[in-house]
Amino acid sequence: MNTSLTLTIEAEPYAFELEPAKCALLIIDMQRDFLEPGGFGEMLGNDVSRLRGAIQPNQKLLAAWRAKGLQVIHTREGHRPDLADLPEAKRIRGRSKTCIGDAGPMGRILVRGESGHDIIPELYPLPSEPVIDKPGKGAFWATDLHAILQNRGIRQLIVTGVTTEVCVNTTVREANDRGYDCLVPDDCVGSYFPEFQEMGLKMIKAQGGIFGWVTNSQKILDVLN
């Protein structure tokens, strides 16, 4: 795509000036552990079916982004098989009977290399798309994401995935502090809690876009196509 092209996307609190060649689609943690029964999301007591509405809008946006040859990056939350990167505070949080690292129907919960840790088949990464394995909620902490974005000349992010108020929000805040402009399509992010979906998005766009912009995937598709 033309490297100097700018596209205006209708968004809140005001229009987002998208520079496609400098923008990555960053898909956060669309893993079986969060979206399918028997994984980390369910272990925490959540109804995982609540996240599935975000799959189809992500598929459409991902297909359009790939068709234009633009940068796609995926993330996965999880830990080393030896759990050396798992803080004890995170392991015992929630006082659940099963913990991160314990065996579940999709393998050891939230452990790298297990089937539950991998990205759902509907949004599976292409070999050319970087996958960032992150031990925390934010995609920048303890990862090489910032270096990859700098090396690829990226300064804008379209951030999608799950969950809106946890890993998406944390990542948008981390990105904002590092100088990236973040656009969040509301139908491409999901929460186990409707009230957190609403407030998680409001927090991003409030105060003149304190952390970023919020739009709908259709508004991105309209200008991209």
Residues with catalytic function: 29, 134, 167
Residue 160 makes contact with ligand TIU by CB under 6 A: no
Closer CB to ligand TIU, residue 21 or residue 35?
35
Closer CB to ligand TIU, residue 20 or residue 114?
114
The pair of structure tokens assigned to 91 is 């392991």
Closer CB to ligand TIU, residue 17 or residue 198?
198
Residue 29 makes contact with ligand TIU by CB under 6 A: yes
- 172-176 LR contacts (CB < 8 Å, sep 24+): 172/204, 172/211, 172/212, 173/138, 173/211, 174/138, 174/139, 174/140, 174/141, 175/139, 175/140, 175/212, 176/211, 176/212
We find the least distance from the C-beta atom of residue 176 to ligand TIU, in angstroms, to be: 17
Closer CB to ligand TIU, residue 45 or residue 69?
45
Q: Which residue has the tokens 């995937």?
A: 217
The pair of structure tokens assigned to 146 is 């910032």
Residues numbered 50-89 forming contacts with ligand TIU, rule: CB under 6 A? 77
Residue 167 makes contact with ligand TIU by CB under 6 A: yes
CB 50 within 8 A of CB 162: no
Find the angle CA(141)-CA(145)-CA(146) to the nearest 5 degrees: 90
Residue 162 makes contact with ligand TIU by CB under 6 A: yes
Segment interacting with ligand TIU (CB under 6 A) among 3-11, 17-25, 141-149, 159-167 = 159-167
